[in-house]
A = this chain, B = another copy of it.
Amino acid sequence: MDTPPVRWLTEEQQRHWRSFLDGSARLTEVLGRQLEQDADLSLSEYEVLVRLSEAPERTLRMSLLADSLAHSRSRITHTIRRMETRGFVERRACAVDGRGVNCSMTALGFARLEAAAPGHVEAVRTHLVDALSEEQLRALGEALAAVHRRLGEA
């Protein structure tokens, strides 16, 4: 009835894991900073706008927004409330489900996204896409897709 021995990581596994932790933190940090400075948007606000811009009617339910961004519901509520006071989005009750709330992007929000996108894409290129070979980028994406699938199985 004793605990099984700990299966520590090899030195190499540890190195990769730390590279990931460190690199991803730094990467999202510089991308967030770029957006903040050039477009006065946080990375999550930007992503909210992107999701809305791709949705039919440029409108999404709060919970879909939350799920697709992997954010908590309360986080989305807070974020959207702030964006609403800035005039980028608006909320209205959902007709088919009395509990639901539809969030849609305003023209102002769309304009802000259009203004922010080129600089952001350029930054993603500089710091990620162009820093890697095609294979590396694919491997990176697929690895994290696998991680995501695994998480979903729980």
**A contacts, CB < 8 Å to B:** 3, 6-9, 12-13, 15-17, 19-30, 47, 69-70, 117-118, 121-122, 124-129, 131-132, 136-151
Contact = CB atoms under 8 A, between A and B. Distances in A.
Contact of A143 (B47, B122, B140, B148): B140
Contact of A29 (B6, B7, B70, B146): B70
A149 B137 CA distance: 15
Copies of chain A in the complex: 2
B9 A124 contact: yes
Decide if the interface of chain A is mainly helix, strand, loop or mixed.
helix
A28 B20 CA distance: 10
A60 to B, nearest CB: 16
Nearest to A124: B17
Contact of A6 (B9, B17, B122): B122
Contact of A23 (B16, B19, B148): B148
